[in-house]
Copies of this chain bind each other. A is one copy, B any other.
Amino acid sequence: MPVEFTSDMPIYLQLIRLVRQGVASGELVPGSRLPGVREMAIEYGVNPNTVQRALVKLERDGLLYTERTAGRFVTADAARIAAVRGELADRQIDDFVRQMKSLGYNCRQLLETLEKKWSDHNGDD
């Protein structure tokens, strides 16, 4: 599955978000191995250096770890994953509330629209 990148943001930051979201959602299974940087580079149509840059950052954040010649793996630290998931959700909600308030929505109106949109989405989860 080819992933599209926007030019609005550096690719390595978009990669960070992509993988982080995968880890937080569990789509990337804890303890499982990631494709190598060269393989991911081909998959995403970017340079291996760019992939490396993103993964190293996620490693410093404790979401990934490396075994020297075996490859890179998703952390098995459930608490760490849960924490990141919580941070992502909090930030999403805060930003969303701020934006929608700024646009003049009220609470009831928003909840209705949201509930409707939720059903419309072909929800996998």
Contacts and interface: CB of A to CB of B under 8 A. Distances in A.
Contact of A121 (B8, B13, B98, B115): B98
A100 B104 contact: no
Copies of this chain, whole number: 2
Which interface residue of A13, A111, A118, A124 has the most chain B CB atoms within 10 A?
A118
Interface residues of A, number: 39
A101 B113 contact: no
A81 B120 CA distance: 26
A107 to B, nearest CB: 5
Interface of A: 8-10, 13, 21, 24-27, 85, 88-89, 92-94, 96-107, 110-111, 113-115, 117-119, 121, 123-125
